Amino acid sequence: MPEKKYGGSAVAIMLNDHKKPRADHTKRIKELVRTAWNVNDDIVIMVSELRCHEDGCPELETVIALMAEDADRKSIKINKPIAELDLAVITSYRPT
């Protein structure tokens, strides 16, 4: 009996599983952030792709959070989905 695939099922669509970023995209962004922003290895980088519900913003945005044990968390919003981010975009959003 063939295995069922649920990628296009109503359940997957309702849960937005078909739009979640792939793990390799998230890992790629973390590596780019660490390089472009010169982030030390002891700082945790969290990358999330979120739906934007505000007027005038794109459907998906990427939030990059930098978390150090001895400092306040920094969050940077980029108005693009994770799959569209590259070194130039990430470099242009470097926090000060």
pLDDT in tens, 36-95: 999 999 999 999 999 978 788 788 999 999 999 999 999 999 999 999 999 999 999 998
Q: What are phi and psi of 63, to 5 degrees?
A: -115, 125
Instruction: Report how far residue 89's alpha carbon sits from residue 76's, in angstroms, rounded to the nearest whole number.
Output: 12
The full set of domain ranges for the chain reads: 21-92
Question: What's this model's pTM, rounded to 2 decimal places?
Answer: 0.74
pLDDT in tens, 22-50: 778 899 999 999 999 999 999 999 999 99
Q: Which CATH architecture has domain 21-92?
A: Roll (3.10)
Q: Map tokens 């459907």 to a residue.
A: 59
